[in-house]
Amino acid sequence: MKKLLAAAALAALSIGSANAATVTQSAALNLETTEINQAFSFNKFDASLGTLTSVLINLDGRALSSASFENNAAQAQNFSFASTLNLFLDNAAAGVSETLALDLFNYPRQLTDLGLTDLGSVDKTDTLSFNAADLNAFIGTGTTSFTCESGVVNTQAGGGGNIVVTQSTSAGCGLSVVYTYDVPTPPPANVPEPASMALVGLGMMGLAAIRRRK
């Protein structure tokens, strides 16, 4: 009896269950001289495939930069220099607005001699992953559009206005969108519905009770 009831419960749980599946779209990273303004378009999720449960967005950022500065003052100067490249990812229709920051240079405040100081070159990469909050914005026909813009922020202090910084930078954004959705699993053929299984179980319990009374 217990085995039959357990089997009936499992059958009831299995009916109407769903299998998870994914659709991934991606665009390769392309380096350009800053400041950049790159555009991406992806197909929206086709609701006929199933029920959309999440939208994962991955932003891959990269920056190449070289920098130097020259002290033209009359003597050595206390000086510091920092540079950060921000990548701003936006999709207004979907309410997406995220920032990925790449630190390029961090020259600490110190006594800097006259002449040229070469900070060399850097190659920085990082990834920002997040789930979209508004799933409905990604469902339907047509496409959904993203923009990725850069903004280099430089901070320098000291030098008496006599230190000149020279910098060149290129950057790029790579983007992927992963739709995760549930595909309903149809009930297997010739399997009684949960209500019928429950009635069968109750009937068998009644028969067992009658037998015990005899």
- Percent above pLDDT 70 for the chain: 79
Sheet of strand 77-91, all strands in order from the earlier edge strand to the far edge = 37-43, 143-158, 77-91, 96-112
Question: Do residues 142 and 37 both lie within one domain?
Answer: yes
Q: Looking at the 3D structure of the chain, how many domains does it have?
A: 2
Mean pLDDT of the chain: 87
Question: Do residues 146 and 195 both lie within one domain?
Answer: no
Question: Do residues 139 and 168 both lie within one domain?
Answer: yes
* DSSP H or E stretch at residue 210: helix 194-213
181 vs 211: which has the higher pLDDT: 181
- pLDDT confidence of residue 1: 40
Question: Do residues 212 and 118 both lie within one domain?
Answer: no
Q: How confident is the model at residue 204 (pLDDT cuts 50, 70, 90)?
A: low
Question: Do residues 41 and 113 both lie within one domain?
Answer: yes
- pLDDT confidence of residue 184: 83
What would you measure as the largest C-alpha separation in the chain, in angstroms?
A: 115
Q: What's the pTM?
A: 0.79
Question: Do residues 152 and 203 both lie within one domain?
Answer: no
What secondary structure, in 3-state letters, does 67-115 show? Answer: EEEEECCCCCEEEEEEEEEEEEEEEHHHCEEEEEEEEEEEEEEEEECCE
CB atoms within 10 A of CB 82: 15
Question: Do residues 162 and 176 both lie within one domain?
Answer: yes
Question: Do residues 151 and 71 both lie within one domain?
Answer: yes
Question: Do residues 171 and 196 both lie within one domain?
Answer: no
SS3 44: coil
pLDDT at 159 over 50: yes
Question: Do residues 116 and 27 both lie within one domain?
Answer: yes
Question: Do residues 148 and 110 both lie within one domain?
Answer: yes
pLDDT at 148 over 70: yes
pLDDT at 55 over 60: yes
Q: How confident is the model at residue 92 (pLDDT cuts 50, 70, 90)?
A: very high
Express each pLDDT in 115-143 by its tens digit: 999 999 999 999 999 999 999 999 999 99
209 vs 133: which has the higher pLDDT: 133
Express each pLDDT in 26-38 by its tens digit: 999 999 999 999 9
Domain hosting 211: range is: 1-17+186-214
- Percent above pLDDT 90 for the chain: 77
- pLDDT confidence of residue 193: 55
Q: How confident is the model at residue 195 (pLDDT cuts 50, 70, 90)?
A: low
